[in-house]
Structure 1
Amino acid sequence: MIRVLLADDEAMIRAGVRAILAAAPDIEVVAEAGDGREAVELVRAHRPDVALLDIRMPKLDGLAACEESRRAVPETAVAILTTFSEDAYVARALGGGATGFLLKSGDPYELIAGVRAVADGGAFLSPRIARHVIDELGGERLARGASARTRTEALTAREREVLGLVGAGLSNAEIARRLHLVEGTVKAYVSAILDRLEVRNRVQAAIVAHEAGLVEAGPQGP
């Protein structure tokens, strides 16, 4: 069971997110917070698998709460939940230790998939956010796309397939089911991909996948 802390200063938003997560049999909301300071305290108290933090909260915003939570309980993964998709927020969130960035207005499956991915030790960037980050590169976009395609050409066909699914936000377990592989094999592929692309984590690999055009359009189900 994936234990989740949910933090948002709007009670109706918390209720909606809680209802979506309740539809997943493997996810349980164990605590809720109405501000960032309370969220950090509850992370310390409950040590959840995932802290799902709104980006804008009183007392302490979600980005600062992310940084404090990661310092206090490093084993708790953090996903940022927001209605804002500015790339500046994404950069700061990832720099603060978040491994997920989800839009409140996104597909409900994205929320569940994102929680599962970060709980599994992976990363999840909402496809709309990933697209925004890439689009904001402006004139560098085409050059980066060409560079990404060149970098991914060094991968095997199976590695490119795995990379595309990483870019779609699937966890190792979901990729294993999709490709009919054992999870340990997927982990080995992901590790090899990170090394060969010379990126530090799955989020950076996901961005390369989007730039290289390896990610299919639309939400990816298991």
Structure 2
Amino acid sequence: AKVLEGAKSICKTAGIELAGGHSIAAKDPIFGLSVNGIVHPRKIKTNKGAKAEDLIFLTKPLGIGVLATALKRQKIKETDYLNLLDTACRLNQIGAVLGNHEEVHAMTDVTGFGLLGHLIEMAEGAGLSAEIEIERLPLIEGIQDYINQFIFPDNTYRNWNAFNSKTEGVKGMDLVKLCDPQTSGGLLIAVAPENQTWFENTLQAENQVAWEIGKFSEKLDFTVKVS
């Protein structure tokens, strides 16, 4: 009942109806939703439309996987647990707004492949390279303490092993921030630099925060460079 109440509350926030469903007999609790909708073909944003010189924005801080692992290991602090819930339960509603504007060239969400994996998908899909600054990456407060204790998902290393050959400049344990699998992560968005003011004003009007973390360039020897 509590799970269904949570689902209904999120659907209400998103302005959609929760309708239908079926049950599964299984050893472990399983719950999920599928979403059906209609979209105009010209308003579909893919992860392949970025252009050289586009700025890269991220709409949620990183670290959900780190904090979720700390929770599973019963190591998480109360304040960090609340930060985990707040970040993971926040909807990416701004995507529906930005889908209406051609100034946004590409958009994708950061999930299981981490920031690095999904950024590589965007770059390769557009035939480009990307450069980001590690100090610009937004992080959920407190995750560095857990990283220092080697508390992060096992799949972090899986992601790093898959993507490190396409990456330059990653130092030490910075790989955790870049490869941390996110559940309900933020959106990666490509916007032309001449539209930056419009983009930031649009976000402000929707009470949405975003961080500029780098830019796309013409294809170079690397896919993603971290500085």
| Structure with bigger RCO (C-alpha 8 Å, 6+ apart) | 2
More helix by share: 1
Normalised by the size of structure 1, how large is the TM-score? 0.27
